[in-house]
A = this chain, B = another copy of it.
Amino acid sequence: MSLPILARSRRTRATPFTARVQANGVKAYTVYNHMLLATAFASVQEDYDHLCQHVQVWDVSCERQVELRGPDAARLMQWMTPRDLSRAVVGQCVYAPIVDERGRMLNDPVVLKLAEDRFWVSIADSDILLWANGLAVGAGMDVAVDEPEVYPVAVQGPKAETLMARVFGEVVREIRFFRFKWLEFRGHPFLVARSGWSKQGGFEIYVDSHELALPLWDALWEAGADLQVGPGCPNLLERIESGLLSYGSDMTRENNPLECGLERFCKLDGPDFIGKAALAKIKQEGIARIVRGLKVAGADLPDCVEAWPLTVDGTYAGGLHTLVWSPRFDSYIGVAMMERAFWDLGQNVTVNVPGGEARTAVVCAVPFEV
């Protein structure tokens, strides 16, 4: 099967950086929040090697911001998440699962507290703007819900701090993990957070100036020439090794956060939120499945682009949702949703590959450990 072409249209939005991403030799895109997101430049493996050694600049504009602003902004934000936000401070980023009234995952954004009455919800791939605004309109809340013109750029990798210090000044070194500061570039203040969708360290710049978008992008590249700055994007291999889950792939609206291994972000005896009673009931009864890692034997597997059934002696044991070859583990590694009877670490399972082939695999923890 040849590789599918992505047909372009205004509906799958370009970003202020798309011309640069093209010039950098992007190999493939996905569509994320109705917007282009690169998935590889040299190759997933080569991009990974570079990311773990140097520094990369990522166009993650598709991390759209849902802004909540006004007297009821804080109340709406807390209502949407099981995460206890009562002690979150201005300048903080908070990973906050969003669930519905039945406790089902709708998204897993990072929430940026800009002010006591203003938040940016930096979303995964679902239209949380519609959820937030639906709740606000339905409940008659006094809050404006919008998608501001903000295009995040991630600077990731072990040399990220050095590069960022050259562009934004030494003050970037003071930014703690999951905190942000407003730092100037050419006189415009940009929100700079120590965050990003890799475990290699780095920052995200929330670019809210169209005029300065490309000058900032180019400044990062110029300042990073001797650091071997390169193009990059969220990397399938790195994110699976690191145990970073992708909403829509590793977990969906079919799953609750307890199944997704996100219980530590769910405060069931804290502030009220939508789905609190449902999650409390699920916790009391015990979950039926949980996210696990899987090491799959052998080589030459096709791409896993839909749920592959896992079985034990013919009984359904779970679904494999993501898969990648890891040289570090000398094995395919993947993310699966394992049924309760088969979720113990060390459990052997059969992977039923589309087309009829069967492979053996073993259940393990995420993040993967050497």
- Which residues of A are interface residues toward B (Cβ below 8 A)? 1, 3-14, 22, 26-32, 34, 39-40, 100-101, 106, 125-128, 130-141, 147, 246-249, 253, 274, 303-307, 321-322
Instruction: Choose from B8, B131, B141 the contact partner of A131 (Cβ within 8 Å).
Output: B131
Beta-carbon contact of B137 and A11 below 8 Å: no
13 A-B contacts (beta carbon < 8 Å): A4-B29, A5-B27, A5-B29, A6-B6, A9-B305, A10-B248, A10-B249, A11-B247, A12-B30, A34-B248, A101-B137, A131-B131, A135-B135
Instruction: Choose from B26, B32, B40, B135 the contact partner of A134 (Cβ within 8 Å).
Output: B135
A14 neighbours in B (Cβ, 8 Å): 305-306
Beta-carbon contact of A248 and B11 below 8 Å: yes
Q: How far, in Å, is A285 (CB) from chain B's closest CB?
A: 21
Instruction: Choose from B6, B32, B128 the contact partner of A28 (Cβ within 8 Å).
Output: B6
Q: How far, in Å, is A311 (CB) from chain B's closest CB?
A: 19
Beta-carbon contact of A30 and B9 below 8 Å: yes
Q: How far, in Å, is A257 (CB) from chain B's closest CB?
A: 17
Known: A4-B6, A7-B30. 18 other contacts (CB 8 A): A4-B5, A4-B8, A5-B5, A6-B6, A7-B40, A9-B246, A10-B248, A10-B306, A11-B247, A12-B31, A100-B133, A126-B127, A128-B130, A130-B134, A135-B135, A136-B138, A138-B141, A139-B139
* The 4 nearest A-B residue pairs measured at CB: A138-B138, A134-B134, A11-B248, A127-B127
A10 neighbours in B (Cβ, 8 Å): 248-249, 304-307, 321-322
Q: How far, in Å, is A197 (CB) from chain B's closest CB?
A: 14
User: How many copies of this protein are present in the complex?
Assistant: 2
Q: How far is the CA of A1 from the CA of B127 in the complex (A)?
A: 31
Q: How far, in Å, is A17 (CB) from chain B's closest CB?
A: 13
A106 neighbours in B (Cβ, 8 Å): 130
Chain B residue with Cβ nearest A125? B11
Determine which residue in A8, A28, A307 has the highest number of CB atoms from chain B within 10 A of its CB, and name it. A8
Chain B residue with Cβ nearest A23? B1
Beta-carbon contact of B30 and A4 below 8 Å: no
A147 neighbours in B (Cβ, 8 Å): 253
Q: How far, in Å, is A252 (CB) from chain B's closest CB?
A: 8
Q: How far is the CA of A209 from the CA of B130 in the complex (A)?
A: 29
A274 neighbours in B (Cβ, 8 Å): 137
Q: How far is the CA of A253 from the CA of B146 in the complex (A)?
A: 10
Chain B residue with Cβ nearest A19? B354
Chain B residue with Cβ nearest A107? B130
Q: How far, in Å, is A103 (CB) from chain B's closest CB?
A: 12
Beta-carbon contact of B322 and A9 below 8 Å: yes
Q: How far, in Å, is A241 (CB) from chain B's closest CB?
A: 17
A8 neighbours in B (Cβ, 8 Å): 4, 303, 305
A128 neighbours in B (Cβ, 8 Å): 130
A12 neighbours in B (Cβ, 8 Å): 30-31
A34 neighbours in B (Cβ, 8 Å): 125-126, 248
A1 neighbours in B (Cβ, 8 Å): 22
